[in-house]
């Protein structure tokens, strides 16, 4: 897993091909990692962009963990965005009602588009 923090954006890429968010244990590890990185960042994190290209199916328990991550990020005023999510993952997020918490404007075809959106976003995003 690679996490890059620069100027207020945290980009998480190369989640293991095993489908790291797919089950409760893996998703708990990921959520713990992400909250730790946000808390320990040298500068306040304004956006967290998750490269979803290698995420597998998300089970119900993982969906709950993911919801908890979104709660955490909202509480800390961190904008969450997805990059490279396939339609199957987006469908699963819809089933769990998580799509309502991730605006379409924060779902990107690639990481470059996500970073460009971050750069043009107001600092209070």
The number of domains in the chain is: 1
**pTM for the full model?**
0.81
The backbone torsions φ and ψ at residue 119, rounded to the nearest 5 degrees and listed phi first, read -65, -30
Q: Is 114 exposed, middle or buried (0-12, 13-18, 19+ CB in 10 A)?
A: buried
Question: Average pLDDT of 18-34?
Answer: 63
Residue 35 lies in a domain: yes
Q: Specify the CATH number for the domain of residue 47.
A: 3.30.750.24
pLDDT > 60? residue 25: no
Question: Average pLDDT of 54-76?
Answer: 85
pLDDT at 7: 67
Residue 41 lies in a domain: yes
For the four alpha carbons of 51, 100, 5 and 62, in that order, the dihedral sign comes to negative
DSSP β-bridge partners for residue 79 = 47
Residue 31 lies in a domain: yes
Position with higher pLDDT, 14 vs 43: 43
Token duo for residue 35: 């909250």
pLDDT at 98: 92
Residue 82 lies in a domain: yes
Residue 13 lies in a domain: yes
Residue 125 lies in a domain: no
- Domain of residue 32 covers 2-120
């Amino acid at each position: 897993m690679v996490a890059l923090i620069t100027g207020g954006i945290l980009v998480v890429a190369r989640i293991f091909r095993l489908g790291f968010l797919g089950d409760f244990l893996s998703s708990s590890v990921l959520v713990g990692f992400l909250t730790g990185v946000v808390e320990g960042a040298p500068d306040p994190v304004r956006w967290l962009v998750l490269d979803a290209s290698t995420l597998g199916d998300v089970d119900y328990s993982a969906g709950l963990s993911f919801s908890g991550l979104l709660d955490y990020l909202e509480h800390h005023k961190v904008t969450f965005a997805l990059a490279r999510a396939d339609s199957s993952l987006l469908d699963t997020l819809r089933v769990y009602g998580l799509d309502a918490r991730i605006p379409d404007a924060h779902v990107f075809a690639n990481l470059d588009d996500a970073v460009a959106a971050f750069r043009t976003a107001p600092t209070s995003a």
